[in-house]
Amino acid sequence: MMPYILTEPQRAVYRRYAGLALPRHTSYPTAPVWQTDHGPAALRAALGRSAAARRPLSLYVHIPYCERLCYYCACTKEIVPPDRRRAHDPGESFLRALEIEADRFAAVVGPGEVQQVHLGGGSPTFLSPGQLERLWAILSGRFAIAAGAEIAVEVDPRITTHEHLRTLRGLGFNRVSLGVQDFAPAVQRAVNRVQPYEVVERLVGWCRTLGFESMNFDLIYGLPFQTVESLAASLAQTLALKPDRIAFYRLAVIPEIFRWQNVFKHTDLPAGDLPLELNVLAINTFLEAGYAFIGLDHFARPDEALARALREGSLHRTFQGMTTGKQLDVVGLGPSAITQLEDAFAQNVKASVVWQEAVTQDFATERGLTLGADDRLRRELMQQLYGHGAIDRHALETQFGIAFEDYFAAELGRLRELVDQGVVTADADAVRLTEPLGRLLARVVAAVFDRYLPPFAFRDGLPAHLSSKVG
Ligand SMILES: C[S@@+](CC[C@H](N)C(=O)[O-])C[C@H]1O[C@@H](n2cnc3c(N)ncnc32)[C@H](O)[C@@H]1O
Ligand code: SF4
């Protein structure tokens, strides 16, 4: 792949759209559209349909605890410092509730055929090795986890011990995702996450010796005090450790929701063209090192499953990022967890004490959505666009029985402005993101096809209701 170099006119187009608060479409329709009257009964019905169709499953378990707050964090978590934990360990009541919830799901979907398991959070290794063994017994005692399943865990290197990893590997875990974020000491101090390179290096060494098949690093750009020089150094340290996959996220700054982000001074955050410079630097560094660029913000070594999925057209975008499990229905367990089925979404309540109480009565569903035919069509369109950089008109026509030109006449009209600006090309076969500009502005193109966003005319300047919040 060619290096990403933007001309000055391309930069001007990028600047025009980069500040829009557009969704990243980790789901379509996006979570704000889901309804609070879509509760346990709707979930039960949707799970019944999934089971009747014998759709293979992915299990997601959300473990919401962390020992310390990272000031940038947008995840659903509860901070339990070690001294508070010594007085009362929340892992115990968590596991009791998880068992009840797993029973509820298994009663409807049966053991299923589980091809993926993902422990996320929060920090799964907040649980002790013994608690992780019990968690695994809860899952494997109720669900049929297929031989060769992808079994992944997110780990915070600061709190993950060799014993944690040995236990997880012994249970059959084969993938690890490390929260790295940035190696620069000044950045780490500013975000309250001091995590020296040596800590990550030691963890990587353990994972390799124990035989985990694949290792992912999460990195973030847009953090306080990041510069082109500091990021270049962090990227060099990243490459030295040879992760198989890298997620390179743009910092989501929404202090109205994540109020702890208010500690960041505006003047300390990368501004102007710097976030673009940081992104382009990382893309070019990873491409040059031989990684494949996948979706919006993922990279993978060419022999890795994700890169194979890109070549084979089987990429899937979920709340856990890009995955290979295109056909899987996701059962979400734990507070805030999202169940993602062929025709429905359902999210659990977020606060863990509320979730623990709720599962004793029924499913802990707080909101969700049953997808109509138009939702499913547009969801597939988004998957193609974000995963493969192109909307395959004929594939959609065949799969959904539509005439693309007629069905999307309004959207194709709105797209003309983006065609003129060199963001996309549109012909009889496909709507295709250009490289590099379109690829960097994929969310703008996706927004045109999101039926729930108020339609906006690009030509008349940026609409007020989409003013800059998330970059
Ligand atoms: C649940 S955490 C990973 C596991 C563990 N808690 C840790 O931090 O090491 C999920 C990932 O979300 C990303 N993340 C969290 N807050 C973010 C934000 N505001 N913007 C972009 N990415 C964010 C981080 O890269 C983080 O590693
Ligand atoms: S980034 Fe990870 S460790 Fe930090 S607060 Fe968020 S979930 Fe916890």
C-alpha distances in angstroms, 427 versus 204, 392, 449? Answer: 46, 10, 17
User: Which of 69, 71, 123, 180 for mutating ligand 2's site (highest number of atoms within 8 Å of CB)?
Assistant: 123
186: exposed, middle or buried (Cβ count in 10 Å: 0-12, 13-18, 19+): middle
Return the structure tokens found at 469: 């919040």
Which atom belonging to ligand 2 lies closest to the Cα atom of 66?
8
How confident is the model at residue 322, as a pLDDT?
Answer: 76
d(CA 346, CA 332): 9
Q: Is the CB of 179 under 6 A from ligand 1?
A: yes
Q: How many angstroms separate the alpha carbon of residue 259 from the centre of ligand 1?
A: 16
User: Which of 75, 187, 203, 262 for mutating ligand 1's site (highest number of atoms within 8 Å of CB)?
Assistant: 75
Comparing C-alpha atoms, which of 345, 308, 352, 312 is closest to residue 329? 345
Ligand found nearest the CA of 72: 1
Comparing C-alpha atoms, which of 375, 384, 459, 386 is closest to residue 421? 459
How confident is the model at residue 326, as a pLDDT?
Answer: 60
Q: Is the CB of 470 under 6 A from ligand 1?
A: no
Q: How many angstroms separate the alpha carbon of residue 122 from the centre of ligand 2?
A: 6
Q: How many angstroms separate the alpha carbon of residue 126 from the centre of ligand 1?
A: 15
Which amino acid is present at 27? S
Q: Is the CB of 156 under 6 A from ligand 2?
A: yes
Q: Is the CB of 120 under 6 A from ligand 2?
A: no
Residue 249, H or E segment: strand 245-250
Q: Are 13 and 437 in contact (CB under 8 A)?
A: yes
User: Which of 68, 125, 154, 254 for mutating ligand 1's site (highest number of atoms within 8 Å of CB)?
Assistant: 154
Q: Give strand ranges (E) for 132-211.
A: 145-155, 175-181
pLDDT beneath 50, residues of the chain: 457-471
Q: How many angstroms separate the alpha carbon of residue 466 from the centre of ligand 1?
A: 25
What are phi and psi for residue 248, nearest 5 degrees? -115, 90
**DSSP symbol at 82:** H
Q: Is the CB of 252 under 6 A from ligand 1?
A: yes
Q: How many angstroms separate the alpha carbon of residue 131 from the centre of ligand 1?
A: 23
d(CA 393, CA 403): 9
Which amino acid is present at 452? Y
Q: How many helices (H) and strands (E) would you count in the chain?
A: 18, 19
For 381-418, the pLDDT digits (tens) are 999 999 999 999 999 999 999 999 999 999 999 999 99
Residue bearing the CA closest to ligand 1, atom 21: 251
Q: Count CA atoms within 13 Å of residue 84 on its CB side.
A: 10
Q: Is the CB of 75 under 6 A from ligand 2?
A: yes
Q: Are 130 and 95 in contact (CB under 8 A)?
A: no
For 272-284, the pLDDT digits (tens) are 999 999 999 999 9
Give the burial string for 282-304 (b: 16+ CB within 10 Å, else e).
Answer: bbbbbbeeebbbbbbbbbbbeeb
